[in-house]
Amino acid sequence: MARGAVALAASLALAVLAGCADMSGIKTGDAKMRDAQSLGLGTQQSGEQAVRIADIDHNGIDTDWWLAFGDPQLNALIDQALKGSPNLGVARARVAKALSTVAVARSADLPQVGAGLDLTRQRFSENFIYPPPLGGSTVNTGVLQLSGSWELDFFGKNKSAVEAAVGSANATVADAEAARILLTTRVASAYIQWARLEGLQAVAQRTLAQREETLKLVHDRVSAGLDTRLELRQSESGIPEARQRMELLTEQIALNKHALDALVGQPGTTDKLKAPALENFKTVALPAHIPADLLGQRPDVVAARWRVEAATQDVAHAKSLFYPNIDLVASVGYQSLGLDELLKPGSRLWSFGPAVRLPIFQGGQLRANLKGKNADLDAAIESYNATVLDAVRDVSDQVSSIQSVARQQVQQRAGQEAAEGAYDIAVQRYRAGLGTYLNVLTAENNVLLQRRDAVDLASRALETQVGLAHALGGGYQAPDQTAALSGKERSTTP
């Protein structure tokens, strides 16, 4: 008897192995994840890109990076946006859905238990397998049963499904953090843009006052017979232009404030605030070095890396489908003809045993599914590589812009000082009758351009600092987020 059981088990094992569907000949993907060395970010790399990235010292970014600007109104706006933004609410809902998907995947690895009660009134055929008196009679039947099953995950099907769900969920968590960081940078950028428009408005007001003063001077000279009506008309034409410029800026300020209200999730918020001024912002110190692994903390890079992990586990799950399913199934309960007999000891029933399902022929479905999952993995890897390359470019662009704007500001200040001096001289010469009004107009245009450039460069200096904070991940800490979800530590370097 024992030998027969062994022979039966051996036969079953051979049938399991022989009955597995064939996955041979399916080529795995060729895509490879890029590392820091392949991106030219090694410590010994040379060249302009390597210098831009490697020459900057930064051990991380504060998650509240905007506090360095020293503007309480900006701080309050960002806090309000983080609490009331509908977009962040959508991101949180997606995280909750992803977590529920993980729970569903994990449930497949646990025993499944169910209970059922079937009560039936039935007439049995006289011309079937049931002899009289059962045949031809109408009776009540009942089944009360507790059943259970437990899939034995010998080939890792459930494990890979759980890991794939965890990878997708971690990617969703990182996406939610990316949405948070994007929201903070958009609020900061909109607030800086508001300050820029207010600065340009101040330039326009100063220009209008300057032109009104010049018009008075021209009018006096025309009255004294020193100038003609041509100079008067030229001077008068500058007044409507300045007023039109002020009205245009007023419109742009209103639209910018509306956009800022939408970002913080509360219309009318900016109407209660004092208009910001560029000169009140503190300068955020530029770090001296940005290590390559800091780019791996960007939430978009982290999300892309987790999608690669999820796709890898999807491939493992697709492979596990080629192997048999082995379940332990059991049931216990009562069954009877006639409901009055249902709960009596003689109506008891039970069953217990293994259940094996072999995928022998699926019409190519399993092979096609595995090929598709391999293709998805290749796509996820290349998407990760593209995200890392974008991160390198983004940081390089922001650093270059910060450095360039600083140099431009030095030159602009010198240019504005010269333009202001030339304008004063032109007005003095015109007042003394030594110069023409055309010289005054030319000098004024140069001054106006320099003043506008000063405002634009000041706002660009702030916006590039916001851009660098966003490019470096806004202080996102990937290990804590992902470990909390997956239950174990994972590498976060690109």
* Residues forming beta bridges with residue 149, ordered by sequence position: 112, 329
* pLDDT (tens digit per residue) in 436-456: 777 877 788 888 889 999 999
Residue with tokens 């590039």: 464
- Looking at per-residue pLDDT, the higher value among 68 and 228 belongs to 68
Q: Classify domain 31-109+156-322+390-486 at the CATH superfamily level.
A: Outer membrane efflux proteins (OEP) (1.20.1600.10)
Q: Widest CA span of the chain, in angstroms?
A: 136
pLDDT band at 23 (very low <50, low <70, confident <90, very high): low
The DSSP secondary-structure symbol of 275 reads P
Q: Does residue 50 have a pLDDT over 50?
A: no
Which pLDDT band holds residue 60 (cuts at 50, 70, 90)? low
- Structural element, H or E, at residue 186: helix 157-223
In degrees, to the nearest 5, what angle opens at C-alpha 175 toward C-alphas 169 and 180? 130
Instruction: Report how far residue 352's alpha carbon sits from residue 333's, in angstroms, rounded to the nearest whole number.
Output: 12
Mean pLDDT of 100-122: 88
Domain boundaries, the chain: 31-109+156-322+390-486
Alpha-carbon span 133 to 337, nearest angstrom: 13
Contact 292, 61 (CB under 8 A): no
Average pLDDT for residues 156-169, to the nearest whole number? 88
pLDDT digits (tens, 9 = 90+) for 356-398: 877 776 668 888 888 888 888 989 999 999 998 898 889 889 8
Whole-number pLDDT of residue 190? 95
151 and 106 in contact (C-beta within 8 Å)? no
Which of 305 and 359 is assigned the larger pLDDT?
305
Q: What are phi and psi of 144, to 5 degrees?
A: -120, 115
* Measured distance CA(431)–CA(389) in Å, rounded: 60
CA angle centred on 467, ends 461 and 468, rounded to 5°:
95
d(CA 84, CA 89): 8
Q: Which of 286-300, 310-324, 414-428 has the lowest mean pLDDT?
A: 286-300
Q: What is the pLDDT of residue 53?
A: 31
Nearest 5 degrees, angle CA 474-CA 476-CA 477? 155
Q: To the nearest whole number, what is the mean pLDDT of the chain?
A: 80
| Percentage of the residues of the chain whose pLDDT score is greater than 90 | 26
Q: Return phi, psi of residue 41, to 5°.
A: -110, 15
Burial class (CB in 10 A: 0-12, 13-18, 19+), 467: buried
Q: pLDDT tier at 333 (50, 70, 90 boundaries)? A: confident
| Cβ-Cβ contacts under 8 Å for 244 (sequence gap 6 or more) | none
pLDDT score of 254: 95
Taking the C-alpha atoms of residue 435 and residue 418, their distance in angstroms, rounded to an integer, is 18
User: Residue 278 in contact with residue 196, Cβ under 8 Å?
Assistant: yes
pLDDT band (50, 70, 90) for residue 433: confident
Half-sphere exposure of 140 (CA within 13 A, CB side): 8
Q: Is the pLDDT of residue 192 over 50?
A: yes
pLDDT of 418 over the 90 cut: yes
pLDDT of residue 51: 26
Asked whether residue 263 carries a pLDDT value surpassing 80, the answer given is: yes
Average pLDDT over residues 428-433: 83
CB 197 within 8 A of CB 257: no
